[in-house]
Structure 1
């Protein structure tokens, strides 16, 4: 009997059929990757395996059997025993999955007690054991910490520890590395692989990142519009995809070994538009003060893209905010067109990472785009509406959508709205802070292509802040690698990527997921040897 047997699964929400006739099998100890864009139905399938749609109003058809339990026919008690006992799930956002008021160890212990009826002392010991197993240093002490005291990678490890508490036969991981840096992502993927080897559990990995799937699974099932479009061994499917959609998905994946297709005007001598000189920014006071950015100098020329890469906490976002004027430097200065820039200047705009939080949900997107026009003194509402319509059309949206609200747009469309708002101020430079980190690879490629097109047409200077080295390679003329507030490597993109000098840059590049499972296995082995040395 297979660990997971899904036959002709359908899931409907009102008039929307999110999953349409899907069938799959997963054997004990095997790993299957569900790959597809947002809206493909992959997370809906993962939820159906644990019966999470029960009581939500969703209509579920077909047959779902997990670890011998018929999920559709199971009673509520049987489902409770399945969830966490035989099958466990690790969600995308660990911060929202963990209770902020309770210690991490107590939350893991509670899961263990519910399923095993163990005494409190035994449950706490089990929590420490699984935290240690997933690589949390000083697990006995850290078990008493609350979620906000953990880094993003540690919180994800804690969720995996919680899932492992009852030694499930199946682990479902829903986008477990989406918000993580490449090195932390590599650590989590290595951990999942090691745990599968040691415990023999099955793994269902849900991801929109084809590279993550290549690193982690034996087989891949590609989904689109609720249906399976291709299913096969990871090496075969990723190496020679048969379906046009799979080829499109793979073609959109940014790669560190492919240089930028079209160099910006920065490849030729051009005037410096934006410059940071000796920038330093401190946070905190007294003994608790620390420098998030420490003695950083960069320059960005007209028509050029400067990529700034580094892990969380490297200072790259703080630097970007100082370039825009949203943060005042503790020392050093920002110059625009050779003049010292103080405060916010309309000529330097920003596109933020999360368009949901950067757009007012109570105002139409047209009104949000119009703000910079009104700030410059435009009072003619007809002219404002006409200009906003031009900007919406310029970024690939319908001018008639002026009166729509942010929730009516997809993630990629909302990011286009953010770009349109930045363009409304007629800037000479735009700082993009992780502008595609939350997007699918195809949507990501579209937004990156849009930025490149706007740059060529308008001669914009772009600063592209990201932790994704592959995306930065695709867009940048020059690259600055940041670590602990300082630039450790700086130069033409091709030189930095092809002949990195700093060990930290080498480490970042080695952690980028490989599309070839064989290469991924070699890198994983090398990381293990390095960790045990």
Structure 2
């Protein structure tokens, strides 16, 4: 009987008074792939970090036994840990920008990792760097190896991290949310790459993800975690097809489906839309350019769309398609270079800032990263109160009452008014951002990737909150996202963007059910599916297309 490549027995990880991992046990055989799924705070990443001893020196208390490729991680000294990391087991992190040094070329960084574990010349190490960059699909690998991280796209940076992990031919790759920030087409490419590498090299994969669809595309078995414990484990088709545990069923029920049609008729619940007197917002030939002369870039090119009170317009497309720039122009955070923008029938696209002030409260934006949009030195209550103070409210009692009501409205305890952003989870911080927007009594809200960094259950809660608020207040919503399944779930109509232009738009069920543009078809074909057999068939089809 062979010894498993990874053996975890009764693993517990404590951060002060918080128990992140609670008595976790599992094994992973050589060459196999295990997906660890669960919500934020379930202990997924803490467990993965323990495999490489990354809690060492952080103040975390780790007990239990972890053995990886014959190394007892808990008992290993620093030299043994260095020998393990990179050579026997390698980690691919979620954010490649924070994992790559901005001052050194990508090739030099991979070469340095290779030289740490192999006594070779600098030339040989650089040749190995080029070899693995080429293997992970970086075009013109010799030239691009001399590029720095900021010169790579997000998908290319993630490929570079995978190349770095492969440099020393490890027996195990631990991938912690490796596709979270990527577009669906790039995500599909990365997942296909990991699958191909496993098949060719026999490397085992431990994939940490909150996206159940990503797990279905990539692994043989799934381990579901909740509150630091293992809830369910089994073959991916069994766990996702016939889950035994209530939590697993709840997790799967929260996953948005790209093939699920919207219910017929209006969204359930009373919708407070005003009588239709024309579009709430209308863009005509909207254009935005950056730079000058030969360096000029057109981010948005001749875009026309409408948004009515009480409806949601979804905008989808890959990174760089112009979605965010368009959204910022719709609320006049960015000035259009050309075209016209009307709000309530009034021309606002060319108004100077002073003339825009009456419209500022009614046109609001919810940003992707609530951490960046909340001041860490101010309580959340004071941040939510900002629009009230900007509107001239000075009575502190009325301000506090209004803010407390808004916090409760978005599902938060009004008693946490004096707490700071770092004391809230990601989903709670996004709710705070929504409360602050609501304080301005908006008529139109542009949501820019508001749930992209959230796990599926928290994502579902935030989406439900936005829908509830829209029904009650008759707000027009523009929902920008690269997740096509989420957009189908929330939108009445959808516009597909590519290279600054809208290539297709219409009723959401029509666009998703019968896409006309080749790019729309490509996007829909790249969305992860919860059916492993279907995922394998689509991966094979993509492989054949790539060869052709």
Range class of TM-score, shorter chain: over 0.9
Q: Is the 8 Å Cα contact of residues 322 and 499 (structure 2) preserved in structure 1?
A: yes
SS at match of 1:403: coil
Q: Deviations over 1:69-92 (max 9, x none)?
A: 111121211110000000000000
**Per-residue deviation at 1:516?**
0.5
Match of 2:376 among 361, 386, 396: 361
Deviations 1:58-108 (A, max 9, x none): 221111111111111212111100000000000000000000000000000
Q: 2:47 aligns with which of 30, 45, 60?
A: 45
Give the SS at the match of 1:312.
coil
1:269, distance to aligned residue in structure 2 (A): 5.5
Q: Does residue 155 in structure 1 map to residue 157 in structure 2?
A: yes
What TM-score does the superposition give when structure 2 sets the normalisation length?
A: 0.96
Task: From 329, 344, 366, give the equivalent of 1:322.
Answer: 329
Displacement of 1:15 after TM fit? 1.8
Mean alpha-carbon deviation: is it higher for 254-263 or for 188-197? 254-263
Note if 1:301 corresponds to 2:308. Answer: yes
Q: Aligned to 2:237, which of 216, 235, 238?
A: 235
Report if aligned partners of 1:106, 1:143 keep a CA contact under 8 Å in 2. yes
1:377 is paired with a residue whose SS is: coil
Match in the other structure for 1:226: 228
Q: Does 1:92 align with 2:94?
A: yes
Deviations 1:404-450 (A, max 9, x none): 11111111111111111111111111000000000010000000000
Q: 2:289 aligns with which of 279, 282, 285?
A: 282
Distance 1:4 1:270, change over 3 A: farther
Mean CA deviation greater in 386-395 or 162-171: 386-395
2:139 aligned partner: 137
Distance in structure 2 (CA, Å) of the matches to 1:307 and 1:474: 10
Contact 1:279 1:329 in 2 (8 A): yes
How many pairs were matched up?
A: 533
1:406 corresponds in structure 2 to 421
Moved more, 420-429 or 138-147: 420-429
Question: Cα distance, 1:260 vs. partner?
Answer: 2.9
Matches of 1:116 and 1:421, distance apart in 2: 54
CA distance in 2, matches of 1:57, 1:403: 28
1:94-493 mapped onto 2 (5 Å cutoff): 94-261=96-263, 263-264=266-267, 271-341=278-348, 342=351, 343=353, 345-493=360-508
1:518 is aligned to 533
Contact 1:221 1:231 in 2 (8 A): yes
**Does the C-alpha gap of structure 1 residues 166 and 368 become closer, same or farther in structure 2, counting only changes over 3 Å?**
same
Aligned-residue CA RMSD (Å): 1.3
* CA gap 1:268/1:192 in 2 versus in 1, 3 angstroms: farther
Shift of 1:271: 3.5
Counterparts of 1:2-41 in structure 2, within 5 Å, are 2-41=4-43
Instruction: Compare 142-151 and 381-390 and name the one that shifted more.
Output: 381-390
Contact 1:214 1:515 (8 Å CA) reproduced: yes
Among candidates 507, 511, 515, match of residue 496 of structure 1: 511
Answer yes or no: is the 8 Å Cα contact 2:274–2:309 preserved in 1. no
User: For the Cα contact (< 8 Å) 2:274–2:474, is it kept in 1?
Assistant: no
Gaps of 5+ in 2: none
Structure 1 unmatched ranges of 5 or more: none
For the 8 Å contact 1:231–1:237, the answer to whether it is kept is yes
Give how far 1:144 is off: 0.2
Answer whether contact 2:445 2:475 (CA < 8 A) is retained: yes
Determine the C-alpha separation between the residues in 2 that align with 1:72 and 1:413.
35
Distance in 1 of aligned mates of 2:503 and 2:255: 27
Give distance in 2, aligned partners of 1:400 and 1:18.
26
TM-score by length of 1: 0.98
Aligned partners of 2:14 and 2:406: how far apart in 1?
Answer: 37
Q: CA deviation at 1:267?
A: 13
Question: Matched residues in 2 for 1:114 and 1:301: separation?
Answer: 60
Q: Deviations over 1:470-506 (max 9, x none)?
A: 0000000000000000000000000000000000000
> What's the secondary structure of 1:109's corresponding residue?
helix
User: What is the aligned partner in structure 1 of residue 522 from structure 2?
Assistant: 507
Deviations 1:207-239 (A, max 9, x none): 010000000000000000110000000000000
User: Residue 272 of structure 1 aligns to a residue in which SS?
Assistant: coil
For residue 353 of structure 1, give the secondary structure of its aligned residue in structure 2.
Answer: coil
How far 1:182 sits from its partner (Å)? 0.3
Task: Tell whether the 8 Å contact from 1:274 to 1:337 is kept in structure 2 after alignment.
Answer: yes
1:528 is aligned to 543
The DSSP-based 3-state class of the residue aligned with 2:158 is helix
Tell me if the contact between 2:491 and 2:508 (Cα under 8 Å) persists in the aligned partners: yes
- Contact conserved, 2:387 with 2:436, CA < 8 A, in 1? yes
Output the CA distance in 2 between the equivalents of 1:304 and 1:169: 51
Q: Is the 8 A contact 1:267 1:304 kept in 2?
A: no
Mapped partners of 1:441, 1:83: distance in 2: 31
Matched with 1:79 is: 81
Q: Residue 58 of structure 1 corresponds to which residue in structure 2?
A: 60
